[in-house]
Amino acid sequence: MGMRVDAAGWLSGAVQRPSPWCDDRPADAPIDLLVIHNISLPPGEFGGQWIDDLFLGRLDPAAHPYFVVAAAAGPVSTHLLVRRDGQLVQYVPCGRRAWHAGRSSYDGRERCNDFSIGIELEGTDDLPFEPIQYRVLTNCTLAILGCYPAMTPARITGHSDIAPGRKTDPGPCFDWGLYRGMILDSLVV
């Protein structure tokens, strides 16, 4: 049996690290968009506690020069993170609004946080992602699509597409063809 989203919005198999940086979605906002991101803290470095610290509101700006910039951006969170080794971490239940998209627009609708789920991949724009990350991302996607019928494979996009000129992730090294193929192959079976 694959991953499932439970009634509270948590994915089975995910390590739960509840973030304070979330709130309720507008009542009239169906969840119908999946946004793929990448993140590394400090930029280009993987592993460690820093991503957790950012999404849990405890990132120490004095721990690294870049963290001053990250802290100045204000509170930020995401629903899910897929680490380089495939570990899945969930910070915000899927039914709640995470603060991952910022100023954004999709299909003529502003404020994508209101109607989207955000998944971060530990990585950068200029390095390939790990095969296990694609497998875990695909399993997450299938669970989310199964829970939110208004979301379809056609309504999966990158942060760069909803915030062009402001964001570049998941970047040119993200293999959209591989990811979409894995989703479609799983849906056909």
What pLDDT digit, counting tens, does each position of 23-32 carry? 999 999 899 9
Q: What is the rounded distance in angstroms from the CA atom of residue 119 to the CA atom of residue 169? A: 11
Q: Assign residue 21 a region: left if phi > 0, alpha if psi is -120 to 50, beta otherwise?
A: beta
Residue in the block written with tokens 């870049």: 66
Residue where the block lists tokens 């899945």:
88
Distance, CA of 67 to CA of 39 (rounded, Å): 13
CB 35 within 8 A of CB 114: no
Domain ranges of the chain: 15-188
Token digits of residue 84:
């380089």
Q: How many CA atoms lie within 13 A of 142 on its CB side?
A: 22
Q: Which two tokens stand for residue 81?
A: 């993170």
Share of the chain above pLDDT 90, in %: 94
Higher pLDDT, 87 or 74: 87
pLDDT at 188: 79
Catalytic residue among 45, 120, 122, 130: 120
Averaged pLDDT for residues 150-156: 97
62-78: pLDDT as tens digits = 999 999 988 888 899 99
Mean pLDDT of 18-38: 96
In 32-130, alpha helices (H): 50-55, 65-72
**Secondary structure letter of residue 128 according to DSSP:** P
Give the chain's mean pLDDT: 96
Query: What's the pLDDT band for 187 if we cut at 50, 70, 90?
Result: confident
How high is the pLDDT of residue 73? 82
122 is annotated as an active-site residue: no
15-188 in CATH: which number?
3.40.80.10
Tens digit of each residue's pLDDT (9 = 90 or more) over 139-148: 999 999 999 9
Asked if pLDDT for residue 1 goes beyond 70, the answer is no
